[in-house]
């Protein structure tokens, strides 16, 4: 199958937590498979291996409604990444939470808290959050989920990437 020409952007949840996002010609948004695995606490090749090997993990994903509809995309960079739909990415998040991946739990809880806040703000006639406010809320919810043990398991560079600008002074003091 010939790759579909897609627009690529980095989707930033907060500085240090990103995935490659793609907009297809029909307007559909998709997630790069490599980044999806990494953001959930697996390796970059995890999803590709699951799909090629089959087995219990793929069976469990199918049970959650994972479609296995992979699209190869062509980008201006010449790369041909493989992508999954946002719906399938949501299924991967659920699977990874059940699999005990703290990164996935933090992602799921932060996304849910953000969505709930938006719905409640709307119901009470409040203005929608700005993207900066959304990133701050997301970061706070994500960071609150990661236990001290999980933070210790992350390497120093990963932790520093997650720091907000105002946190930098605190990190410098603790170095």
Element (H, E) at 71: strand 71-74
Q: pLDDT tens for residues 119-144?
A: 999 999 999 999 999 999 999 999 99
Q: Which residues pair with 18 in a beta bridge?
A: 12
Are the beta carbons of 10 and 18 closer than 8 angstroms? Answer: yes
Q: pLDDT tens for residues 26-62?
A: 999 999 999 999 999 999 999 999 999 999 999 999 9
Cα 82 versus chain centre, distance: 15
For the record, the structure tokens of 97 come out as: 């939470």
Convert 6-51 into a string of H (helix), E (strand) and C (coil). CEEEEEEEECCEEEEEEECCCCCEEEEHHHHHHHCCCCCCHHHHHH
Write down the pTM of the prediction.
0.81
Query: Side by side, which strands form the sheet with 71-74?
Result: 4-5, 71-74, 82-85, 29-32, 17-23, 7-14
| Maximum C-alpha span of the chain | 54
Query: 166 vs 155, 158, 170, CA distance in Å?
Result: 20, 17, 8
Are the beta carbons of 92 and 100 closer than 8 angstroms? Answer: no
- If you average pLDDT over each of 2-16, 23-37, 75-89, which comes out highest? 23-37
Using CA atoms, how far apart are residues 67 and 30, in angstroms rounded to an integer?
Answer: 13
Cα 157 versus chain centre, distance: 18
Are the beta carbons of 48 and 68 closer than 8 angstroms? Answer: no
Top pLDDT among 15 and 63 is at 63
Local confidence band at 2 (pLDDT 50, 70, 90 cut-offs): confident
Average pLDDT, the chain: 86
For the record, the structure tokens of 105 come out as: 């739990």
**pLDDT (0 to 100) of residue 175:** 44
**pLDDT (0 to 100) of residue 115:** 95
Mean per-residue pLDDT, 101-112 = 95
Do strands 71-74 and 29-32 pair parallel, antiparallel, or not at all (unpaired)?
unpaired
């Amino acid at each position: 199958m010939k790759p579909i020409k897609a627009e690529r952007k980095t989707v930033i949840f907060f500085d240090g937590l990103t995935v490659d996002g793609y907009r297809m010609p029909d307007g559909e948004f998709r997630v790069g498979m490599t980044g999806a695995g990494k953001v959930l606490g697996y390796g970059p090749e995890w999803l590709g291996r699951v799909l090629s090997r089959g087995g219990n993990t793929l069976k469990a994903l199918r049970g959650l409604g994972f479609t296995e509809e992979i699209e190869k995309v062509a980008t201006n960079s010449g790369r041909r990444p493989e992508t999954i739909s946002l719906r399938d990415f949501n299924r991967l998040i659920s699977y990874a939470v059940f699999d005990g991946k703290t990164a996935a739990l933090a992602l799921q809880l932060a996304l849910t808290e953000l969505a709930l806040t938006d719905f409640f703000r709307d119901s009470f006639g409040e203005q929608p959050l700005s993207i900066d406010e959304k990133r701050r809320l997301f970061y706070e919810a994500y960071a609150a989920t990661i236990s001290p043990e999980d933070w210790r398991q992350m390497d120093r560079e990963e932790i520093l990437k997650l720091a907000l600008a105002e946190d930098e002074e605190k990190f410098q003091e603790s170095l």
